[in-house]
Amino acid sequence: MSEVLSSVMEQALKLIKPDEDLREKVNQTVEKVIKNLKEVFWKIDQRIEVELEGSIAKDTWTSKDIDADIFILFPKDYSKNEIGKITISSVISKYGKERCLLRYAEHPYVTINFDFMDVDVVPCYKVEPPNWLSATDRSVYHTKFVKSKFNDKLKDSARLLKVFLKSIGAYGAEIKVGGFSGFLCELLVYNYGGFLETVKAFSEIKLPLIIDPTKKVVQLNKTPTDVFNSEFVVIDPIDPERNVAAAVTKENFWKFSWACRSFLRRPSLSYFQLEVPQEPSLEAITDVVSSGALKVYGILVKPWKAPPDVFWGQIKRILKRIENKARQNNFNIIKSDAWSDESEELLFLFVLESDKIEAKEQLGPKTYDYENAEKFIKKHLNDKDTLFGPFIKDERWYVLKKRSLTTFSDMLNSIVSSDEFLSSLPQEVISSFKSFKILKNTALVNYAISSEDRKKVFIRLLFGREWWIKNLFYD
């Protein structure tokens, strides 16, 4: 290991590893919450257990983002509906509505807000593997696995990997991100032997990649790639039928690989600080837009109410649908994205080469299809919307027609207000799109940069490159 690399990792750990004062503060808060919750839940049923799980229990947490996971283990004779309702009502009765935020996964859970940290209270079932009744049942055993296998080096390696992935925007298994979960980070450093070993492996990784952390022979009739329908498979040591890496998109997989490559070329604390280094100036942003080389558009709507994974899943499907419609109308969207605070504003973003196309090429019959070719020629020869042709190119007839929608703005208006687009969406989404606003170019820039969180998404979309790419060619 080079001196520079060693020094960067050492400094990074000092930045992200909790010190004794913070540990004591967190532990006191967690212990008090557990004590309070035990009192509340034991009044309902003394069989219910309250346990600390997640990164704090495993000691793989960082000072950059403090979240405690407290699990409420219910006996099997409770229904899923019951464990959700009981958890919500019990936590809110103790901590009040003002401090509690209701969230949703397979079933609802509650986040209690403290000044310096959040505590997630999650219901699950008290079961033995592999008799899972809900997705959260495995978490208890994930904690036990990490606690039994990890030494100090692996704990610190997990911390480094989590913050590294956060810095490149690839941390988090939720649909909004499509990245690496905390448990996946832990399994990767366990499999490769540490943070640096993981980074080196991924800097020249190839797909398919199958990782079985416990090195057990998994008894499957097909290959893991076939079973999980994925080229990136990390088998859950607690449940061999589950792929821990299922949420990771191809884009984030390769982003991580190339970020690892750039880090090894030029080690830097920037990979562990969560702020975008050397963010483009306002002048640089406006220059790109005012030059006219790229066109930027946004659709602004009020977010609808839905659990986060449902909400962001719907957003991604809407983006894909608009991209497909744009392609059908010969508009080339280079990149699209979305930003939302999930309560007041939702912004769909698009970058494209050109926002005005006067004509479209229409495909006709093959030249030797005489009957249909004559009909095609007759139809378009003297039509008022014909700009050029009909003409022969290779073995086919073509014609250039005047477009009904000549601008991208017209096309967006047409799409999002059409019955075809709206009819296939849930009612709450339709209601949001009944009132939309299209922002473009300078107006969009002014809106996008007025929020730091929104600005980061916009800059990444506008400039089309990750901040760490330049490090690949550092001498």
Alpha-carbon distance values, 390 to 175, 357, 371, 443 (Å): 48, 19, 15, 41
In this structure, the strands spanning 232-234 and 295-301 are unpaired
- For residue 358, give the 3-state DSSP assignment: coil
In this structure, the strands spanning 232-234 and 209-211 are parallel
Distance CA 191, CA 234 (A): 10
Position 178 scores a pLDDT of 95
The two three-digit tokens of residue 169, written as one number: 């925007």
User: Which residues lie closer than 8 Å to 332 by C-beta, 6 or more apart?
Assistant: 326, 352, 353, 354
Torsion angle of alpha carbons 453, 455, 459, 462, nearest 10°?
Answer: 120
The two three-digit tokens of residue 182, written as one number: 């905390």
- For residue 368, give the 3-state DSSP assignment: coil
Distance CA 349, CA 84 (A): 36
Distance CA 322, CA 93 (A): 44
The answer to whether 232 and 211 have CB atoms below 8 angstroms apart is no
The answer to whether 448 and 298 have CB atoms below 8 angstroms apart is yes
Instruction: Look at the block and give the residue holding tokens 């990490």.
Output: 146
The 3 state secondary structure assigned to 83-148 is HHHHHHHHHHHHHCHHHEEEEECCCEEEEEECCCCEEEEEEEECCCCCCCCCHHHHHHHHHHHHHH
Distance CA 448, CA 436 (A): 16
Position 418 scores a pLDDT of 85
Eight-state DSSP code of residue 14: H
Instruction: Look at the block and give the residue holding tokens 């290779």.
Output: 394
Angle at alpha carbon of residue 218, lines to 215 and 219, rounded to 5° = 155
Query: Backbone phi, then psi, for 239, in 5-degree steps?
Result: -140, 95
Q: What is the pTM of this model?
A: 0.87
Distance CA 6, CA 246 (A): 32
Q: What is the pLDDT along the chain (475 residues), one digit of tens a residue?
A: 688 999 999 999 999 999 999 999 999 999 999 999 999 999 999 999 999 999 999 999 999 889 999 999 999 999 999 999 999 999 999 999 999 988 887 778 999 999 899 999 999 999 999 999 999 999 999 999 999 999 999 999 999 999 999 999 999 999 999 999 999 999 999 999 999 999 999 999 999 999 999 876 555 556 777 778 899 999 999 998 899 999 999 999 999 999 999 999 999 999 998 776 666 777 778 777 777 778 999 999 999 998 888 999 999 999 999 999 888 888 889 999 999 999 999 999 999 988 888 888 889 999 999 999 999 999 999 999 999 999 999 999 999 998 877 889 998 998 888 888 877 788 899 999 988 999 998 899 889 888 888 888 888 888 878 888 888 886 5
The answer to whether 138 and 87 have CB atoms below 8 angstroms apart is no
Distance CA 292, CA 294 (A): 5
- For residue 378, give the 3-state DSSP assignment: helix
Eight-state DSSP code of residue 304: P
Distance CA 290, CA 284 (A): 10
The answer to whether 353 and 296 have CB atoms below 8 angstroms apart is no
Distance CA 284, CA 281 (A): 5
Sketch out the chain's domains with CATH numbers.
18-147 (3.30.460.10), 150-272 (1.10.1410.30), 282-355+406-465 (3.30.70.590), 359-402 (3.30.70)
